């Protein structure tokens, strides 16, 4: 996994739209911090998790090149490398969200950190990684799942957070969220193995990139 992660970091600089990705990451970071500071921690969590999608999108753009897909490492890039890279990104963002939440709870009077919100954070990561595992091959089917899952989390977010806050301690909830992130990485890897032979979906990539496919 370490070698796959290293390869992902090395290949990222060759991805399409790297500059746009860095700008978008900066915007999402600012929005996430603002939501946390204003007390909208649940919305802030959404922005933290969305930050995990843009690096993967940039890395995945390499697969649109026929030379990459047909290379000896083409399968590895589409499966293990992307899954390892994505898992690292989401775990890093998850831990960052926890750290900032704890720091704000100590610095701002009345600011509360709930374990249920971190579990929801982990569930969001699972949904996004499932999309990354099959969305670039089966875009329409995966996109429907993605929208339905996001709507389900959005509608039931108060029920979910309330349930985990009632039955689990903050530490256990944080651990459950981390396990969700790891499980999402495994699911992404398995789905990418099942679908890597399928043609790349044009709709899953930026419009400016589709003309090269």
Question: Structural domain boundaries of the chain?
Answer: 2-210
Q: Average pLDDT per run of 10 along the chain, which is 213 residues long? A: 77 78 83 74 73 82 74 81 90 87 77 81 90 88 89 83 86 92 93 88 75 66
pTM for this prediction: 0.85
Closest-CA residue to 53 (of 124, 4, 144, 157): 124
User: Which tokens hold the place of 102?
Assistant: 């704890």
pLDDT at 107: 76
Closest-CA residue to 130 (of 101, 77, 87, 99): 87
């Amino acid at each position: 996994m370490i070698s796959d992660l290293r390869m992902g970091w090395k290949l990222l600089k060759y991805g399409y739209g790297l500059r746009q990705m860095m700008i978008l990451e900066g915007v999402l970071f600012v929005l996430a911090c603002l939501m946390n500071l204003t007390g909208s921690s649940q919305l802030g969590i959404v922005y933290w998790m969305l930050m995990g999608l843009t690096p993967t999108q940039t890395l995945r753009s390499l697969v649109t090149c026929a030379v990459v897909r047909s290379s000896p490492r083409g399968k590895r890039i589409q499966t293990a490398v992307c899954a390892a890279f994505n898992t690292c990104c989401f775990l890093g963002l998850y831990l960052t969200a926890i750290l900032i939440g704890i720091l704000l709870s100590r610095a701002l009077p009345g600011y509360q950190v709930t374990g249920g919100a971190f579990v929801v954070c982990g569930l969001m990561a699972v949904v996004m990684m499932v999309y990354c595992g099959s969305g670039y091959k089966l875009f329409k089917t995966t996109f429907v799942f993605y929208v339905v899952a996001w709507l389900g989390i959005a509608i039931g977010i108060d029920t979910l957070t309330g349930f985990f806050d009632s039955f689990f301690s903050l530490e256990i909830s944080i651990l459950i969220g981390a396990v969700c992130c790891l499980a999402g990485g495994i699911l992404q890897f398995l789905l990418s193995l099942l679908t890597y032979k399928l043609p790349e979906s044009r709709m899953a990539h930026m419009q400016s990139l589709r003309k090269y496919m």
